[in-house]
């Protein structure tokens, strides 16, 4: 399990120490080794879930521009914004593949039986992400835990998980990649082999287009229905992840203005960890952090617009 969680580490370490070309060579070597040991599906999954995001992370983290005699590195929020968009896409494709496979297995039998009765071809029902996930979860839970959990408890849990399942996949995947990147950076900094200096984790600047995606996705998700509503609302939630990081950076800055910063942050992270482990207010904490980050982003946009107007005058 630990090996699977840390599988992107060699590619990310090669990229952060040698460069994007080094990460590409390490990726090619990993894909070649895996293709000789397993079948094609495992190689595709490894590329989609490890190689592609690792290469994107390395490319974004090492992106910089020359300003005068110095080097200006792109902020961490830039990397988080694009990684969040990629995670949303991977999570969506994963869900569509799972639901489509399950839907095909279930509906083919029903369609064939109906065709035999009516003597005319009966079209299969269109893919419904929400309904497909609920049916899939219900089948999986009922087949393994039917004697331990009653029906009402099962349905209540499914009703809570399914609407945010795409976001849960994306957030889990993103946290894994970021955690592995942090470990890689820590190891390379100890050996003084990083191409980029250690970034400041309290100075996060999220891209403005991510703010547009959050607002537009939330609006479409609220007004639309069916798959469009599901995808739009979850896309908005996925793109809110960078704003959660921005919200955390604000909390750190607020805590550092007190005399008990270490204690306050320890209490905060302990409560947040317990909430996520036991599912007590985890969604509310996510919304709170995203709201703080969105407020900070809007404040920056407003201050920037005012400053530009003053400069024109």
Q: Are 162 and 63 part of one and the same domain?
A: yes
Where does a domain end: 181, 205, 229?
205
Taking the CA of residue 48 as centre, how many other CA atoms within 13 Å lie in the half-sphere pointing to its CB? 15
Q: Are 102 and 190 part of one and the same domain?
A: yes
Dihedral over alpha carbons 183, 95, 233, 151 (to 10 degrees): -110
Q: Are 244 and 198 part of one and the same domain?
A: no
Host domain of residue 57: 2-205
How many structural domains comprise the chain?
A: 2
Question: Strands 64-67, 70-73: parallel, antiparallel or unpaired by DSSP?
Answer: antiparallel
CA dist., res. 271 & res. 251, Å (int)? 14
Q: Are 65 and 150 part of one and the same domain?
A: yes
Taking the CA of residue 55 as centre, how many other CA atoms within 13 Å lie in the half-sphere pointing to its CB? 15
Which residue's entry shows tokens 């908005």?
236
Where does a domain end: 183, 205, 227?
205
Q: Are 181 and 246 part of one and the same domain?
A: no
Does 230 fall in a domain?
no
Q: Are 61 and 190 part of one and the same domain?
A: yes
CA dist., res. 233 & res. 207, Å (int)? 19
- Residue ranges of the chain with pLDDT lower than 70? 1-4, 39-40, 103-126, 142-151, 279, 309-313
Question: 70 forms bridges with which residues in the sheet?
Answer: 67
Quick one: which of 8, 3, 23, 78 has its CA closest to 195? 23
Q: Are 41 and 165 part of one and the same domain?
A: yes
Where does a domain end: 144, 179, 205?
205
Q: Are 41 and 183 part of one and the same domain?
A: yes
Does 49 fall in a domain?
yes
Does 38 fall in a domain?
yes
- pLDDT single digits (tens) 233-258: 999 999 999 999 999 989 988 888 88
Q: Are 249 and 192 part of one and the same domain?
A: no
Does 251 fall in a domain?
yes
Quick one: which of 61, 4, 1, 56 has its CA closest to 27? 56
Quick one: which of 276, 272, 279, 286 has its CA closest to 264? 272
pLDDT at 25: 93
pLDDT at 119: 45
Rg from Cα positions in the chain: 23
Query: What three-state secondary structure class fits 66?
Result: strand
Does 219 fall in a domain?
no
Does 288 fall in a domain?
yes
The pair of three-digit structure tokens given for residue 30, joined into one six-digit string: 């990993």
Contacts of 231 (CB under 8 A, 6+ apart): 92, 129, 166
CA dist., res. 102 & res. 100, Å (int)? 5
pLDDT at 111: 45
The pair of three-digit structure tokens given for residue 85, joined into one six-digit string: 């968009």
Handedness of CA 38, 39, 42, 47 (dihedral sign): positive
Query: What three-state secondary structure class fits 65?
Result: strand
- Let me know: does 247 contact 293? Beta carbons within 8 Å: yes
Contacts of 123 (CB under 8 A, 6+ apart): 111
Quick one: which of 77, 92, 305, 90 has its CA closest to 210? 77
Q: Are 124 and 261 part of one and the same domain?
A: no
Alpha helices in the chain (DSSP H): 2-5, 9-18, 20-37, 40-46, 52-61, 76-118, 129-145, 151-161, 165-191, 208-223, 226-239, 241-256, 261-278, 282-312
Q: Are 128 and 55 part of one and the same domain?
A: yes
Does 223 fall in a domain?
no
Does 89 fall in a domain?
yes
- pLDDT single digits (tens) 138-167: 777 766 655 555 667 777 778 888 899 999
Is residue 258 exposed (0-12), middle (13-18) or buried (19+ Cβ within 10 Å)?
exposed
Q: Are 190 and 272 part of one and the same domain?
A: no
């Amino acid at each position: 399990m630990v090996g699977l969680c840390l599988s992107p580490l060699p590619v990310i370490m090669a990229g952060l120490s040698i460069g994007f070309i080094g990460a590409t060579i390490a990726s090619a070597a990993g894909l070649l080794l895996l293709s000789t040991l397993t079948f094609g599906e495992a190689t595709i999954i490894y590329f989609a879930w490890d190689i592609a995001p690792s290469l994107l992370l390395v490319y974004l983290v090492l992106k910089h521009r020359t300003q005068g005699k110095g080097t200006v590195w792109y902020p961490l929020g830039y990397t988080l914004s694009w990684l969040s968009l990629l995670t949303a896409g991977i999570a969506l494709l994963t869900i569509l593949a799972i639901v489509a496979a399950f839907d095909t297995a279930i509906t083919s039998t029903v369609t064939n039986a109906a065709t035999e009765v009516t003597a005319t071809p009966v079209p299969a029902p269109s893919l419904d992400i929400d309904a497909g996930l609920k049916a899939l979860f219900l089948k999986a839970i009922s087949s393994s835990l039917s004697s331990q959990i009653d029906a009402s408890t099962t349905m209540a849990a499914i009703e809570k998980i399914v609407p945010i399942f795409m976001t849960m996949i994306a957030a889990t995947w993103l946290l894994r990649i970021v955690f592995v990147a942090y470990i890689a950076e820590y190891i390379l900094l100890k050996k003084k082999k990083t191409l980029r200096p250690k970034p400041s984790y309290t100075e996060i600047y999220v891209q403005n287009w991510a703010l547009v995606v959050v607002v537009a996705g939330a609006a479409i998700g609220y007004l639309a229905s069916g798959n469009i509503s599901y995808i739009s609302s979850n896309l908005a939630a996925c793109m809110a992840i960078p704003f959660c990081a921005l919200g955390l950076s604000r909390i750190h800055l607020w805590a550092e203005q007190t005399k008990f910063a270490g204690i306050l942050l320890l209490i905060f992270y302990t409560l947040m960890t317990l909430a996520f482990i036991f599912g007590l207010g985890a969604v509310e904490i996510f919304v709170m952090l995203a709201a703080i980050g969105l407020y900070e982003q809007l404040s920056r946009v407003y201050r920037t617009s005012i400053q530009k107007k003053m400069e024109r005058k």
